[in-house]
Amino acid sequence: MTAKELILDQFDACFNSENWFIPLTKSLEDLTPDQAKWKDGNANHSIIQLVRHLIFWNERYLMRFIGEPLPPVNIGGEDPTFDLNPSDWESELKKLNNVFSDFRIAIENATDEKLQSLSGKDREDNWYTVLSNINIHNAYHTGQIIFIRKLQGSWK
């Protein structure tokens, strides 16, 4: 297995391929909009906020990866990716699927040279390292989603 195949395998395991743990798509199955917006009352995030966070960061890293300019973002003490705007749950799920699908295709089409290159002008890590950490980030938030579903009683 090449390093690229390993990254893609991790990516699939985190997003839609049930393996050692539940992937993100399975963690969101049969979730209603009300369940997605539910909070436990302890200042924790809702599932829709976590989904929006995953969309935001995966989209930004995808844009960096394919060389598209990033829109400016002011991130201070509060992470704006968690902001809950009244939005359609189904459209958020479509955005999530599109970002992950586009990201997977971009990785699949990338050359080894691209994957070994530095991930930015002022960065010391190559894309292999960044993509590996993105997979860890996505798995972490999937675990949070499953935990929230267990708290609310919506997990099978």
- Domain regions of the chain by residue span: 3-17+24-69+81-152
Mean pLDDT score, 55-69: 96
Domain 3-17+24-69+81-152 has CATH 1.20.810.10: no
Given a contact cutoff of 8 angstroms between Cβ atoms, the answer to whether 155 and 149 are in contact is yes
Q: What is the pTM of this model?
A: 0.91
> What one-character DSSP code corresponds to residue 126?
B
**pLDDT, tens only, 99-117:** 999 999 999 999 999 999 9
| Torsion sign (Cα): 61, 26, 88, 50 | negative
Residues contacting 16, CB < 8 A, separation 6+: 23, 24, 25, 26, 100
Residue 41 scores a pLDDT above 90: no
Rounded Cα–Cα distance for residues 148 and 152 (Å): 6
What does the pLDDT read at residue 78?
Answer: 57
